[in-house]
Amino acid sequence: MLKTQCPHCGASYKFKDSSEGKQFKCKQCGDTFRIRSESVPPVEQPPLPQSADDFELPP
């Protein structure tokens, strides 16, 4: 079983080993990528505020 993520949006997928090397169209964002055995790191997202003091509301 291959576990990988869309390199564009980070959506997670599992594929049969026989799928390695094939093209796949992400169901979430529509990007096309090649299925590989190594995991692709997820898209980096900004950190969430640690407390209410770190959160700023617009005026």
What is the per-residue pLDDT for 36?
82
- In 1-59, which ranges are E strands? 2-5, 12-15, 23-25, 32-34
Report the pLDDT value the prediction gives residue 59, as an integer from 0 to 100: 72
The domain limits of the chain are: 1-37
> pLDDT, tens digit, for every residue of 17-48?
899 889 999 999 999 999 986 654 555 666 66
Q: What DSSP designation does 38 have?
A: S
The label of the residue with tokens 């997820």 reads 42
pTM exceeds 0.85 for this model: no
